[in-house]
Amino acid sequence: MGHDLERLLRLPPDRGMVVLQRSPLWFPLMVMDSPTPSPPSNFDPSAAPGSMGVDRAHWRSQILTNPMAAEPYAALGELLRQSGQVAGAIEAWCKALALEPQRETWYAGALAAFDGWLKLPSIYETEAALWQARSNYAQGLDRLIGLTRSHPALMQLALQAIALRVPFYLNYQGQDDRALQAQYGAWVCQTLATVFPDLAPLQPRRPRERSSGDRLRIGYFSSHFYHHSVMKTHLGWLRHADRDRLEIYSYYAGNRWDATTDEARRLSDRFAFWETGNDFNPQRYAAFCRAAWQDQLDVAVMLDVGMDSVMYLIGGWRFAPVQCATWGHPVTTGLPTVDYYLSSDRMEPPQAETHYSETLICLPGLGIAYERPPIAPQPQLDRAQLGLADDEVVYLCCQSLYKYLPQADRLWVEIAQAVPRARLVFLASPFPEAAPPFAQRLAAAFAAAGLAFADHCTILPPQSQTQFWQLNQLADVFLDSIDWSGCNSALEAIAAGLPVVTLPGALMRGRHAAAILTELGLTETIAQTPEDYCDLAIGLGCDRAWRQNLRLEIAQRSARVFNQIHGVRALETFYESAVQRRQQECTPCPIAQAGT
Q: List, in order, residues 6 or more apart from 262 with CB less than 8 Å away.
A: none
- Domain match, 170 and 211 both: no
Break the chain down into helix, strand, coil percent, rounded to 5. 50, 10, 40
Report yes or no: 333 and 305 within 8 Å, Cβ to Cβ. yes
- Domain match, 403 and 506 both: yes
Range of the domain at 42: 2-189
pLDDT surpasses 90 at 99: no
- Domain match, 335 and 438 both: no
Q: Is 85 part of a structural domain of the chain?
A: yes
Over the stretch 25-57, which tens digit does the pLDDT of each residue have?
A: 333 333 322 233 333 334 444 443 334 444 556
Q: List, in order, residues 6 or more apart from 287 with CB less than 8 Å away.
A: 274
- Domain match, 308 and 270 both: yes
Q: Is 544 part of a structural domain of the chain?
A: yes
- Domain match, 450 and 522 both: yes
Q: Is 93 part of a structural domain of the chain?
A: yes
- Domain match, 131 and 232 both: no
CATH number for the domain spanning 345: value is: 3.40.50.11380
Over the stretch 319-344, which tens digit does the pLDDT of each residue have?
A: 999 999 999 999 999 999 999 999 99
- Domain match, 136 and 233 both: no
Q: Is 595 part of a structural domain of the chain?
A: no
CATH number for the domain spanning 465: value is: 3.40.50.2000
Least confident range of 139-143, 281-285, 416-420? 139-143
- Domain match, 221 and 296 both: yes
- Domain match, 274 and 179 both: no
- Domain match, 364 and 435 both: no
Residues 125, 130, 136, 142: what is their CA dihedral angle, to the nearest 10 degrees?
150
Model pLDDT, residue 67: 80
The rounded mean pLDDT for the chain is 88
- Residue 290 parent element (H or E): helix 282-294
Over the stretch 208-255, which tens digit does the pLDDT of each residue have?
A: 998 888 999 999 999 999 999 999 999 999 999 999 999 999 999 999
Q: How far is CA 184 from the centre of its chain?
A: 13
* Amino acid identity, position 569: R
Q: Is 194 part of a structural domain of the chain?
A: no
Model pLDDT, residue 134: 95
Domain end point (choices 160, 189, 218): 189
Least confident range of 30-39, 107-116, 148-157? 30-39
Q: Is 268 part of a structural domain of the chain?
A: yes
- Domain match, 237 and 178 both: no
Q: How many Å apart are CA 442 and CA 403, to the nearest integer? A: 13
Q: How many Å apart are CA 269 and CA 248, to the nearest integer? A: 5
Q: How far is CA 587 from the centre of its chain?
A: 32
Domain end point (choices 168, 189, 210): 189
Strand, coil or helix: 533 = helix
Phi-psi map region of 593: left, alpha, beta (phi>0 left; psi -120 to 50 alpha): beta
Q: Is 409 part of a structural domain of the chain?
A: yes
Q: How many Å apart are CA 188 and CA 201, to the nearest integer? A: 17
Q: Rounded to 5 degrees, what angle do the CA atoms 465, 469, 472 make?
A: 140
Q: List, in order, residues 6 or more apart from 31 with CB less than 8 Å away.
A: 56
Q: Is 69 part of a structural domain of the chain?
A: yes
The arrangement of strands across the sheet holding 299-302 comes to 270-275, 246-254, 216-222, 299-302, 322-326, 340-344, 359-363
Model pLDDT, residue 303: 98
- Domain match, 555 and 410 both: yes
Number of domains in the chain: 3
Model pLDDT, residue 49: 38
Domain end point (choices 126, 160, 189): 189
- Alpha-carbon dihedral sign for residues 151, 153, 154, 158: positive
Over the stretch 18-27, which tens digit does the pLDDT of each residue have?
A: 333 333 333 3
Least confident range of 426-440, 499-513, 575-589? 426-440
Model pLDDT, residue 551: 98
- Residue 446 parent element (H or E): helix 435-448
